Amino acid sequence: AAPLAPDLKTCGPPTLPAGAKPTKCCPPPSTTIKDFVFPQQNLPLKIRKPAQLVAKDSEYVAKYKEAIRLMKSLPEDDPRNFTQQANVHCAYCHNSYHQVGFPNLDLQVHFSWIFFPFHRWYLYFYERMLGSLINDPSFALPYWNWDSPDGMEIPAIFTERNSPLYNELRNANHQPPTLMDLNWNKKDVDSSGNVDANLAIMYRQVYEAKRARCFFGKPFRAGQEPYTVKVGSGTLELVPHNVVHSWTGDITQPNTENMGALYSAARDPIFYSHHANVDRMWSIWNSFNRKDIDDSDWLDSSFLFYDENKDLVRVKIRDCLDTKKLGYDFLEQPLPWINTKP
Ligand code: C2O
C-alpha cells in the first residue's frame, strides 16, 4: 500500500446524484505544482471564534461579508472565485479525481481517515484567500458552535437576506430560534429535550471515541476502492457532521441541496463555519491527550489546492497536524458535553 494522491491531469466530470444540475467540478488547469511551505511562524495566531460571538462584533461581520462578496465577484475561472471554491469540494467527493498510479480508482475524501485532514487543508486555503481579498492577514473564519447550547441553531450572521453570507437553499423549518437536533432523521419532532440529547451525542461521538481508528475512520490507501459512508466513516463524521449537513439543507430539493448533498454543500457559506467546528473537534480530541494516526500512508497522503496567490500547492497530511504551525487556533469555549454521559 501507498499514500493517496489526486491526479489533476485526469480530473473529469463528477458522478452527481439524480436531480442535480450538471456541473463541472475540476479546478482550472495549472502547469506547475508547488510544494507546501509553512506560513511565517512569528505572526500572531489567527483566532477562530464562535459564530454567535462574532455576531456582536459589527466590524468583524462587515469584513467577513466584504471578503465573501469579493470572492463571489472574482472572474469565474479564477480559482479563488466562490463557486470554484465550492467545486473543490464537489471534485473531491464525486469521483472527479482518480488516484495517482491507479487511473481506475477514485479519490473520495469522505468515509475514511482522510476526512479530517482534507477538510482542515481546504479551510486553511479558503481562510487565507478571504484574508488576502480584504488585506487582513489576521482574518479567521467563525466556527458554528453546535456542541454548545448557545450555538445550537443556525448562526444569525448567516440568516440576513441579501447578505453575501446568506443562502436560500436551507430548511425553512430550521430557521432560528429552532434548536438543532443531532438525532435528526428527516422528521421534525418536539425539540424541548434537544439540548441534553445533543450534549449526550457529543460526549459519545467525541469523548468516548478514544481510539484513533474510531474517531478518524478506516484506512484509505492508494490502490484501494473508496469506502461508502456507513462502512468507513469515523464517529464524528457520521454524527454530528453528517446530521448538521442534512438538518441545514433544503428538504424540498431533490438531494437536500445545498448543505445536504456533497456536491453542493460548499455553495452555502455556512459550510465553512460548520467545518471550522469539525476542525475544532479534532483539536479538542487531541487536547484529551489522544494521538493522531501514526501510519506513513496517512501522513504522506496528499491533496492539491490553489492558494491565495493562485498557485497550485501540494500538501501532505503530516503538515496539518498542528494548527498553530498553520497559523491559527480556536477561541476556547466551555465544553458542556464533557460531563454528559449518555
Ligand atoms: Cu466534505 Cu461536511 O463534508
Express each pLDDT in 101-157 by its tens digit: 999 999 999 999 999 999 999 999 999 999 999 999 999 999 999 999 999 999 999
Rounded to an integer, what distance in angstroms lies between the CA atom of residue 162 and that of residue 195?
Answer: 31
Q: Are 121 and 59 spatial neighbours (Cβ–Cβ below 8 Å)?
A: no
Any ligand 1 atom below 6 A from CB of 241: yes
The number of distinct structural domains making up the chain is 1
pLDDT at 47: 98
Ligand 1: atom nearest CA of 118 is 1
* φ, ψ of residue 312 in degrees (nearest 5): -85, 130
Dist. CA 197 → ligand 1 center (Å): 23
Hey, which residues does 46 pair with through a beta bridge? Answer: 328
Kind plus residue range of the DSSP H or E element containing 236: helix 235-236
Q: Which three cell numbers stand for residue 256?
A: 437536500
pLDDT tops 90 at residue 37: yes
- Give residue 191's pLDDT band: very low, low, confident or very high (50, 70, 90): confident
Is the confidence at residue 48, as pLDDT, over 80? yes
110 lines ligand 1 (CB under 6 A): yes
Q: Which of 272, 44, 13, 268 is nearest to 141 (CA)?
A: 272
For the CA of 115, the nearest atom of ligand 1: 1
**What residues have CB less than 8 Å from 272, skipping those under 6 apart?**
123, 126, 127, 141, 266
Q: What is the pLDDT of residue 202?
A: 97
Q: Is residue 342 part of a domain?
A: no
108, part of any domain: yes
Q: Which domain holds residue 322?
A: 6-330
CA of 247 to the centre of ligand 1 (A): 14
CATH number for 145: 1.10.1280.10
Residue 283, domain member (yes or no): yes
- Tell whether 86 is covered by a domain: yes
Domain membership flag for residue 35: yes
According to the model, what pLDDT value does residue 181 have? 95
- Is 292 domain-assigned? yes
Q: How confident is the model at residue 342 (pLDDT cuts 50, 70, 90)?
A: low
Q: Do the domain assignments include residue 24?
A: yes
CA of 332 to the centre of ligand 1 (A): 23
Query: Cell numbers of 117, please?
Result: 485532514
How remote is the CA of residue 265 from the centroid of ligand 1, in Å?
A: 7
Residue 257 has pLDDT above 70, yes or no: yes
Q: Residue 156's Cα: distance from chain center in Å?
A: 19
Identify the pLDDT of residue 190: 78
DSSP character at residue 278: H
**Closest atom of ligand 1 relative to the 122 alpha carbon:** 1
Residue 242 CA: nearest ligand 1 atom is: 2
**Does the C-beta of 89 come closer than 6 Å to ligand 1?**
yes
Arithmetic mean of pLDDT, 82-97: 95
> What pLDDT, in 10s, does the model give residues 269-321?
999 999 999 999 999 999 999 999 999 999 999 999 999 999 999 999 999 99
* Beta carbons within 10 angstroms of residue 220's beta carbon: 25
Is residue 253 domain-resident? yes
Q: Give 261 Cα–ligand 1 centroid separation in angstroms.
A: 9
Which is nearest to 87 in space by CA: 101, 98, 97, 73?
A: 97
Per-residue pLDDT tens digits for 200-228: 999 999 999 999 999 999 999 999 999 98
Say yes or no: CB of residue 48 within 6 Å of ligand 1: no
> What contacts 24+ positions apart, CB below 8 Å, involve 52-59?
52/145, 52/150, 52/151, 52/155, 52/156, 53/142, 53/331, 54/142, 54/157, 55/155, 55/156, 55/157
Instruction: Please tell me if the CB atom of residue 316 comes closer than 6 angstroms to any atom of ligand 1.
Output: no
* Spacing, Cα 231 to ligand 1 middle (Å): 16
How many CA within 13 A on the CB side of residue 301?
27
